[in-house]
Homo-oligomer: A and B are copies of this chain.
Amino acid sequence: MRHSLLLTLLAASALPMGAQAIIEAPRAQIEAFNQKFEAATRHMDNAAIMDLWAENGITLLPSAKPVIGKAAIAAMMNAVTEQIKGARMDKFELRCSAIEVSGDLATEWCSEHQIVILPNGKPPFDGRGKMLLVLRRGADRKWRLLREMWSQSDAD
């Protein structure tokens, strides 16, 4: 009888624990995604950044047309890198908040602070921005960027 009660309690507790693990796992995966995104950006490693994008990704930047599709985003990033050839990222910090997940979609917003050392003795670029991100989990269970929008942060 005691043994049977123990089994019943174990069985009753198994579902909530399992359900909790299912809910929490995507958050940890998205935090791991954010670390990869931060490192790839800090290293200005466009190939590593593009690995994090979904095929049908879209990025929205101020005063620009939407850049639609992974190939177009890669071309845009390479054009920017070419324009600032010889630059390197001295600092890139990403702080993300308010992760929400449902099914294969997730969203969060992030603030970023970047210091870029520019070539030819130009003064370093020190900028702060914020981003709204939407991630999609693919058939391979990997989270990738589906939507990104950036704008500058407040002055202080």
Residues on B with C-beta less than 8 A from A155 are 63
Residues on B with C-beta less than 8 A from A56 are 98
Q: Place the interface of chain A in its size category.
A: 20 to 34
Are B100 and A136 in contact, with the CB atoms below 8 A? yes
A30 contacts chain B at the CB level, 8 A cutoff: no
Q: Which of A11-19, A42-50, A105-113 contacts B (4 or more CB under 8 A)?
A: A105-113
Are A151 and B151 in contact, with the CB atoms below 8 A? yes
* Copies of this chain in the oligomer: 2
In the complex, per-residue mask of A61-80: 1 if CB is within 8 Å of any chain B CB, else 0: 11111101000000000000
A130 contacts chain B at the CB level, 8 A cutoff: yes
A149 contacts chain B at the CB level, 8 A cutoff: yes
A58 contacts chain B at the CB level, 8 A cutoff: yes
Q: A100-B146, A132-B147 are in contact. List 7 more A-B contacts (CB 8 A).
A: A60-B151, A62-B152, A100-B134, A102-B103, A107-B107, A109-B147, A150-B151
* A residues in contact (CB < 8 Å) with B: 56, 58, 60-66, 68, 98, 100-107, 109, 130, 132, 134, 136, 146-147, 149-155
List of 8 A-B pairs having minimum Cβ-Cβ separation, nearest first:
A103-B103, A102-B103, A102-B105, A132-B149, A105-B105, A62-B151, A102-B104, A107-B134
